[in-house]
Chain A
Amino acid sequence: MTAALALSGVTKRYDSFALQDITLSMPEGQIMGLVGVNGAGKTTLLRILSGLARADTGTVEVLGHAMPARQVAVKKDLGFASEDMRLYKSQTLRWHMDFIRSIYPGWDEAYATDLLRRFDLRPEQALAGFSHGQRVKALLLLNFARRPKLLLLDEPTTGLDPVARDEVLQALADILRDDARSVLFSSHNTRDIEQLADTISFVHQGRLLASKDKEAFLDDWRRIICQGTWQAEKQAWPEIAMMRQNGSLLELRVRQFSEGLLGRLQAQGLEIRSAEAMSLEDIFVTTVRAGGAA
């Protein structure tokens, strides 16, 4: 399968932040969610992928082209929207649509009209009168309607009210009906990522902590509640990411769950009370706090 994007050994250093040794790839047709706290390096990574920033070391390929050398060819098939990107306040949405249509021959006017209706946007209104949610939806419309092969979205749902967020997520889900389209979107809202993404990558302090299939993430991780006290050497249990003793109850957060693990815990004299699946947010928080791979 062709890779929509591939990074190998990518680093980018700023005065107070460094993206370190990022190796990551995403096959065509996938939605990848990039999860990280503010300042984790998500925006830098997306800027490198979109050709806006140049990696200090490593190689970057997007849609089969080297970046940033072939950025014009890539950007013709790329949609990129970031949280800090703004449109021209003095102009109407219609003006912006005409402007983008003049640059992208693949502009789909029928789809744009459908999005206008779905997002409840008025094309003749100047952007100055738009709310934050409307501005985000307008920017996404301008990206979606050009029918890009790859969409890079940096925090697309940040600051949106629940209704607007749902509309945006629904539109994202719709455009992914076409298997040839790929989306990489970053967020610190794990619920959005969990709802949409096929693959999830955790970024923290400029490093890629993990990148896996969403189902694998959710299947691998468990919260196990035991009765008893932990007495073994923790180093001998690499699958345990975090443990917390609360009176006689022991909570374990496990990164590589298996039925065999439960037997081994019982052999340690622990009584298993429950072994439940974890939310993506819990998995992310545990991974970050454990400071290692997920």
Chain B
Amino acid sequence: MKLPELNVPVIKQLIVKDWILFQKQLAAYVTGGIFALCLIGMAKGWSFYLGSLLLLVVMVGISCFSISTSLLVERKEHTLAFVMSLPLTPLDFYLAKLLGNLVTFFVPFLILSVGTLAVIAFTPLPDGLVVFSVLIFGFVALAYSASLSVAMAVESEGWNTFAMIGSMVLINPFIMLLGQIPEITSHVKTENIVWSLPAVAILLVEIVVSIAVLVATGWVHCRKKAFY
């Protein structure tokens, strides 16, 4: 099978463009996230819950902002037509949008995720929270990948909003589900970081499904010869 030829310089330019367009807003989100981490780091009951809630809101906000501004708003404001007129194929466009989105989402996401782990490690918070936190962040990444795939495949604003809100709202039931698994909950309040079998399985599912939905969307775009 012949591999498709990619216009790498233009893909790079589009990724840089997305980063430049959204960097200020993303910096504001990261600032909000750092404030949340400060609250968590105070290691008091009220500040921990308030900080955790704020951190989740910020992460969901980054996810929705990244997808909506780079895809939905561009589509709505007809700037996508401008981008599509540049020397690129639908596959180049898909890769540029995918990588651009991954950069604009994962840079602040990783800053806050690593920040959270650092806060847990260097404050009186129990280290057992690490597993719980990583699984929640994994779910946010999965929800983001699913929403991104829908946004790239479906033009309907309604379906995209549904996918974004729907996947993010599921965080609550997911946290409740984690709370029902003794192998995970029993270590949360201890100083031991224990990667039990259910925890590893859940993390693997999150990673594999996240990658799978993005690859599936890429495969669809790979077959497209034109944008419309």
B13–A53 touching, CB < 8 Å: no
Knowing A52-B227, A53-B226, A53-B227, the reply to whether A88 touches B79 (Cβ < 8 A) is yes
- CB-defined contacts of B102 to chain A, threshold 8 Å: none
Q: State how many residues of chain B have any CB contact under 8 Å with chain A.
A: 24
CB–CB B82/A53 < 8 A: no
Which residues of A come within 8 Å of B, CB atoms? 47, 50-54, 68-69, 71-73, 75-76, 78, 80-82, 84-91, 95, 99, 102-103, 139
* A103 close to B86 (CB less than 8 A): yes
User: Is A72's CB under 8 angstroms from B87's CB?
Assistant: yes
- Kindly state whether residue B84 has any CB partner on chain A within 8 Å: yes
Name the residue on B nearest A44 (C-beta).
B228
Residues 1 to 58 of chain B near chain A (Cβ within 8 Å): 5, 7, 9-10, 13, 17, 20-21
Tell me whether A86 and B87 are in contact in the complex, defined as CB-CB below 8 angstroms, given that A53-B227, A69-B225, A91-B21 are known contacts: no
In the complex, A78→B84 CA distance in Å?
12
In the complex, chain B residues 42-84 whose Cβ is within 8 Å of any chain A Cβ:
77-79, 81-82, 84
Contact assessment for A47 and B77 in the assembled complex, using a CB-CB cutoff below 8 Å: no
How long is the Cα–Cα vector from A246 to B116 in the complex, in angstroms? 86
A47 to B81 Cα, complex, angstroms: 10
A91 — which chain B residues lie within 8 A by C-beta? 21
**What CA separation (Å) do A292 and B13 show in the bound complex?**
48
Min CB distance, A63 to chain B, in Å?
12
Q: Which of B5, B84, B92 contacts A52 (CB 8 A)?
A: B84
On whether the beta carbons of B81 and A84 are closer than 8 Å, the reply is yes
Complex: A90 Cα to B20 Cα, angstroms: 11
Once A53-B227, A91-B21 are accepted as A-B contacts, the answer to whether A102 and B13 lie under 8 Å apart by CB is: yes
- When the two chains form their complex, are residues A99 and B227 in contact, meaning their CB atoms are under 8 A apart? no
Q: Point out the residues of chain B lying under 8 angstroms from A95, CB to CB.
A: 20
**A84: contacting residue among B78, B88, B226, CB under 8 A:** B78
Of A54, A80, A81, A103, chain B has the most CB atoms within 10 Å of the CB of A103
- The CA of A23 and the CA of B13, in the complex, are separated in Å by 37
Complex Cα gap A73–B92 (Å): 13
Does chain A have a CB within 8 A of B180?
A: no
Contacting residues, chain A, for B225 (C-beta < 8 A): 54, 68-69
Closest to B82 in A: A85
Nearest to A102 among chain B residues (CB) is: B13
Q: Across the interface, do A90 and B226 meet the contact criterion of CB distance under 8 Å? A: no
**B21 in contact with A88 (CB, 8 Å):** yes
**The one of B9, B13, B82, B85 that contacts A75, using a Cβ cutoff of 8 Å:** B85
Of A47, A88, A99, the contact of B228 (CB 8 Å cutoff): A47
* Bitwise interface map of B from 164 to 192 toward A, beta carbon under 8 Å scored 1, else 0: 00000000000000000000000000000
Min CB gap B166→A, angstroms: 28
Inter-chain contacts of A139 with B (CB < 8 A): 82
Interface residue from B79, B87, B228 paired with A76 (Cβ < 8 Å): B87
Distance of A88 Cα from B89 Cα, bound (Å): 21
Q: Which of B7, B13, B92 interacts with A99 by CB under 8 Å?
A: B13
Are A52 and B228 in contact, CB atoms less than 8 angstroms apart? yes
Q: How distant is the Cα of A75 from the Cα of B78 in the complex, in angstroms?
A: 19
B155 to chain A, nearest CB (A): 14
Q: How far is the CA of A86 from the CA of B13 in the complex (A)?
A: 18
List A contacts of B20 (CB < 8 A). 95
Contact between B226 and A68 (Cβ–Cβ < 8 Å)? yes
Complex interface: chain B residues within 8 A of A81 (CB):
85
Shortest CB–CB separation between residue B120 and chain A, in angstroms? 37
Known: A53-B228, A99-B13. A89 touches B77 (CB 8 A): yes
Contact A90 B21 (CB under 8 A): yes
The 4 A-B residue pairs with the shortest CB-CB distance, nearest first, are A54-B226, A75-B87, A53-B228, A86-B78
Nearest to A53 among chain B residues (CB) is: B228
Q: With both chains docked as a complex, state the minimum distance between the C-beta of A185 and any C-beta of chain B, in angstroms.
A: 15
A6 to B77, CA, bound (A): 32
Nearest CB of A to B73, in Å: 10
A90 smallest CB distance to B (angstroms) = 7
Nearest-Cβ distance from residue B14 to partner chain A, whole angstroms: 9
A103 surroundings in chain B (CB, below 8 A): 9-10, 13, 86-87
Inside 8 A of A87's CB, which chain B residues have their CB?
79, 82
Q: How far is B7's CA from A95's CA once the two chains are assembled, in angstroms?
A: 22
User: Which residue on chain A has the smallest CB distance to residue B85?
Assistant: A80
